[in-house]
Amino acid sequence: MSTSSGPLASLEPSTRGRGLATAYALAVVLAAGLVALAWYGLGRPLGVPDAALSGGRMQCVSYTPFLRHQSPLEPFVISREQVARDFALLSRYFRCVRTYSVAGLELIPEVAAEHGLAVLLGAWIGPDREASARELEGLVALANRYPETVLAVVVGNEVLLRRERTGEQMVELLRQVKARVPQPVTYADVWEFWSAHPEVAPAVDFVTIHLLPYWEDEPSGIDRALEQVRRVREEMGRRFAGKPILIGETGWPSEGRQRETARPSRENQARFVRGLVAMAEAEGWSYNLIEAFDQPWKREKEGAVGGYWGLFDAERVDKGVLSGPVTNLPGWRGWLALSAALAAGLLLLAGPPRSRWGTLAPLLAAAGGGLVAYHLLYGTVAARNGAEWAWIGVEAALSLAATLWLVLRLIEPAGTRRAALLGLAGRHAGHLLLALGFTAAVVALQLAFEPRYRDFPFAVYLVPALGFLFSRMAGGLGPTTRPLRWLGALLALAAPVVVYRETFENGPAMAWVAVSLLLAMALLWSGRRPTAPT
């Protein structure tokens, strides 16, 4: 029996409205719970076995004193108080520190002695002959001034790797220094370069190898990384039998891009460092961990990952790497709050739903806001300057605008202002798709042709890619244009290049490939064609 008229007719709108409001409220609760669960999953405490230490402290750690705003690439002044604070902290965990240069850091041996730390004193050898000569003079002077604190001197770091000197030239520098200092003398480089330059080994008192599974030509995931360390260390022991060997650099990054199966995270850093220390102690190996503190300035040359090898962050806050529970995202509550604020803003702009489809808007808004917040989290790790922050901000703004348009389409807002907002968004949806296609194409070209230090910003494009594709398939947005087709073709062509470079084992890379292909389909989709009259 119809209720479109009669005494029950007046009850239908209010009953329907209450049903929509109830469904909408349940969707808000569900969306909030899912977002909270996702952020908690990133930040929850994780248990990693501690390393048992026979002497109470670990052996050595690489030390560069620069704070977040400091860099050796610019003129700097390192105060005695700053170094003293650092050594007061490090002396609780380590017996010695390794340095890489003496210029501007001449006070390190003296302050180290005050805190009971020995020093592996390094001199930076680079392409500038005069600067290198000054480094060596400073190295010799400090080694002779502090013979009880300076355990050994390191003449050059990865000079052969950078191809700034030949093996014969390094041998000559080593001989000059050995004649002038009482301590053992060594040179430090990636382990392959000791094999490639066998003439260097006879000139050193011990061989210092760098062994970083993350940076290997064939990167090792965390599950195989320690076995790779063992294999190489044993191989070097056989190759240079009779020479003591120091693992001069070994460690794992806590942030940055994934390389094949090698995934940076605080958990993986803790697993590697604690496992390495336990293995080295059991085998009787000498080792030096890289590094004491995060050094954000290294992002200039190494990408985001370069700044996050520290056991403590740039503010000297414990990252939980050495002992106890570790979390990959200690500030997850703040990012949850930002996600909630972005989602709430989208919903407030859109207004209440007018149909059952509109009750899904909270889930869409939560996904869009959460993924944009995740993208901004990536910016705190990767952005090196204002220009890079501006680019990240543009990507975030485009993603939020696309999400708002999609939410408005679901809500079907009533009222002049919100309906006008939907109309405005609809009129410019094509321009928004073009802008997103352009920024994604720039990223795709970078990842295809200059990928080593690039990350995979898939999160910020996911909701727009899916939303625009579904809209295209439903006949929205009108016909595709030549610029859209060009951008779509570029994304489609770049995707297999990324797969080839990164392999299917790299999860974030494959996520980017999938999202970029979804966006490519949205750009290339021809839409519905009008039916010819019969």
Q: What is the DSSP string of 214-281?
A: GGSSSPPPHHHHHHHHHHHHHHHHHHTTTS-EEEEEE---SSS--BTTB---HHHHHHHHHHHHHHHH
Q: Is 514 helix (H, G, I), strand (E, B) or coil?
A: helix
In this structure, what token pair is assigned to residue 200? 């260097």
Q: What is the DSSP letter of 445?
A: H
Distance CA(439)–CA(427), nearest Å, equals 20
The pLDDT value recorded for residue 533 is 43
Task: Report which of 334, 213, 329, 219 is spatially closest to residue 265, judged by C-alpha positions.
Answer: 329
The pLDDT value recorded for residue 528 is 52
In this structure, what token pair is assigned to residue 154? 């390191």
Say which amino acid occupies 520. Answer: A
Class of domain 58-307: alpha beta
The pLDDT value recorded for residue 452 is 80
Q: What is the DSSP string of 13-34?
A: HHHHHHHHHHHHHHHHHHHHHH
The pLDDT value recorded for residue 384 is 86
Q: What is the DSSP letter of 463?
A: H
* Helix axis angle, 482-502 to 507-524, nearest 10°: 160
The pLDDT value recorded for residue 367 is 96
Q: What is the DSSP letter of 245?
A: E
Task: Report which of 184, 202, 182, 200 is spatially closest to residue 192, judged by C-alpha positions.
Answer: 200
Say which amino acid occupies 467. Answer: G
The pLDDT value recorded for residue 56 is 81
3-state secondary structure 180-208: CCCCCEEEEEEHHHHHHCCCCHHHCCCEE
* Helix axis angle, 386-411 to 332-350, nearest 10°: 50
Give the H or E element holding residue 459: helix 459-473
Gap between the terminal Cα atoms of the chain: 40
Contacts from 37-43 at CB under 8 Å and sequence distance 24+? 38/370, 39/329, 39/332, 39/333, 39/335, 39/336, 39/339, 39/370, 40/332, 40/336, 42/328, 42/329, 42/332, 43/327, 43/328, 43/329, 43/330, 43/331, 43/332, 43/333
Q: Across the 534 residues of the chain, what is the mean pLDDT of every consecutive 10-residue run?
A: 43 65 91 96 94 80 93 89 97 97 96 98 96 97 98 97 96 97 98 95 97 94 96 95 95 95 96 96 96 93 92 96 94 97 93 85 96 96 91 96 89 67 71 93 93 90 94 75 92 96 93 97 73 43
pTM: 0.90
The CA-atom distances, in angstroms, between 316 and each of 78, 83, 86, 335 are 15, 12, 8, 22
**Annotated domain spans of the chain:** 20-42+330-524, 58-307
In this structure, what token pair is assigned to residue 525? 């989709």
Give the H or E element holding residue 123: strand 118-123
